[in-house]
Amino acid sequence: MRFRIYINKTGKESFLPINYQYELSAAIYKTIDRADSEFSKFLHEEGYLAYGKKFRLFTFSRIFFEQFKVIKDAGRIHHQGNAAFFEISFLVDKAAEEFIKGLFLDQEFVLGDKISRAFYQVSSIEAVQPPLFKENMRYRCLSPVFLRRKRSGGGEDYLHPENSDYGILLMQNLLSKSKAYELANQWDESPIGNPIPDFEFTPIGRVFKNGVKIKQLTEKETQLIGYSFEFELKAPVELHEIGYHAGFGHLGSQGFGCVGVKS
């Protein structure tokens, strides 16, 4: 299920950090926790398990501000208007639609750090109709796609979409999410299976590098590198559905890998 969440600024403060993804993720967890602490704990601490890894099967887009100005030198966004919206997707059954709407409606949250912050309230929420999924789809990033690969000697690489292994790792990630969702629902068989199916991944046009800081201005601050771009993907329909609802690549729950369909 995907939702578009409309928010309004409620205070006089109008500056927030460019790197607000972590704070928005925390606000989402807090919102869920107010209504269903067990589900929030499951998402945050446990997640869906597959192959010894945890998957939190949701993602969200960047915020689309009504009027804004980016102040790069200060690392701030000046939200000059009042309205904004973002999209959030959960890999859940449609039966959960009203429950999720109820979680977010009228909720208040703050986005900021030690330097500045802005206050918001959810004004409305609407379900977004899913596209007609086909084997061949074209997507545009609503938030950067983040894909990493561990090095044998330690550390990890953040892959560029033109890396020769990018498509394979993207498919492996989708298959792992599929397996995790399957196990959580106690299905007897995976709808796709474990081997990597035939696929074609093609970046289209310009690729934009996005450096994102997580836990900014704390001892645990981390710099991640994602990429925003358009791409075509030929793959089983089920994998398209998983990528659209749970995010493409890693760290969907931190605001990476949310896409829209390019018509």
Structure tokens at 127: 């379900």
Taken in order of first residue, the domains within the chain and their CATH numbers are 2-128 (3.30.70.1890), 136-261 (3.30.70.1900)
Work out the pLDDT band at 191, boundaries 50, 70, 90: very low
> In this predicted structure, which of 48-62, 64-78, 115-129, 132-146 has the lowest mean pLDDT?
48-62
CA 263 to chain centre: 21
Work out the pLDDT band at 35, boundaries 50, 70, 90: low
Statement: residue 120 has pLDDT above 60: yes
Query: Hunting for tokens 């196990």 — which residue is that?
Result: 183
CA angle 99, 102, 107 (to 5 degrees): 145
Residue 146 is which amino acid? Answer: F
Statement: residue 167 has pLDDT above 50: yes
Measure the CA–CA gap between 211 and 225, rounded to whole angstroms.
Answer: 5
Average pLDDT over residues 32-36: 67
Q: What is the share, in percent, of the chain residues with pLDDT greater than 90?
A: 66
**Are 123 and 8 contacting, i.e. CB atoms less than 8 angstroms apart?**
yes
pLDDT of residue 99: 76
pLDDT of residue 227: 98
Measure the CA–CA gap between 136 and 231, rounded to whole angstroms.
Answer: 11
pLDDT of residue 10: 96
Work out the pLDDT band at 97, boundaries 50, 70, 90: confident
Max alpha carbon distance in the chain (Å)?
54
Over the chain, what is the mean pLDDT?
87
pLDDT of residue 85: 98
- Between 214 and 16, where is the model more confident? 16
Statement: residue 93 has pLDDT above 60: yes
Average pLDDT over residues 206-211: 96
Query: Hunting for tokens 């926790």 — which residue is that?
Result: 33
- Between 180 and 226, where is the model more confident? 226
List the catalytic residues: 29, 44
pLDDT of residue 184: 62
pTM of the model: 0.87
Work out the pLDDT band at 240, boundaries 50, 70, 90: very high
> In this predicted structure, which of 26-30, 66-70, 108-112 has the lowest mean pLDDT?
26-30
pLDDT in tens, 37-87: 555 554 545 444 444 444 468 899 999 999 999 999 999 999 999 999 999
